[in-house]
Amino acid sequence: MVKSKLEQDIIDALEAQAPLHGVDVVDVEVVGATKAPCIRVRLDKLEGDPINLDEVTAQTAWVSDTVEALDPIAGAYTLEVSSPGMKRPLRRPSDFARFAGEEVELTTTAMEGRRSYKGVIAETTDTAVTIQPEGEEAVTISFDDVKKCTLKPVYDFKGVKEGK
């Protein structure tokens, strides 16, 4: 996956501590203006049900301490700690393997003039993922060429009764 050096340094520092706290570092993004950027950290449980708001709140202190000790940005920045959400980012080969068969939206570095794909994760290896777009031939993309990949949210309104 393509990550900036700053993002990768933060990921590495957090991943060294995360197992001690029973969480997985799903993703780190540095976004916004260079004068006051925002560091977004997405966490999930190592196993079981998805992380909830109370658990995210409980994890924020050590995340903040770890990022502050790294001192990644000179000056002010905002730290956001959250769950991965419905559009969960996929960053590692193990993430792609875990969600095999799920629909994703994937952006690559330019490959034969095409940069984005929507389809199902058909297969993964340690070095690449095969995406099966609907009505098209499958395409295999090296993880080194993946810029961003997120699960496509599935909204299930079955069982929801109108007005209730």
Pair 61, 98 in one domain: no
Q: Give the domain CATH number at 21.
A: 3.30.300.70
Is 87 part of any domain?
A: no
Q: Which of 57, 82, 107 is the C-terminal boundary of a domain?
A: 82
Mean pLDDT across 85-89: 92
CA 164 – CA 159 distance, rounded (Å):
11
Pair 19, 51 in one domain: yes
Nearest of 73, 78, 79, 77 to residue 59 by alpha carbon: 79
- Asked if residue 61 has pLDDT above 60, the reply is yes
Q: Give the domain CATH number at 132.
A: 2.30.30.100
Identify the burial level of 10 via C-beta atoms within 10 angstroms of its C-beta, where 0-12 means exposed, 13-18 middle and 19 or more buried: buried
Look up the pTM and report it. 0.83
Is 157 part of any domain?
A: no
pLDDT level of residue 74 (50, 70, 90 thresholds): confident
What is the average pLDDT score of the chain?
91
Per-residue model confidence as pLDDT tens digits over 104-132: 999 998 667 789 999 999 999 999 999 99
Nearest of 56, 3, 53 to residue 30 by alpha carbon: 3
Pair 19, 66 in one domain: yes
CA 19 – CA 137 distance, rounded (Å):
39
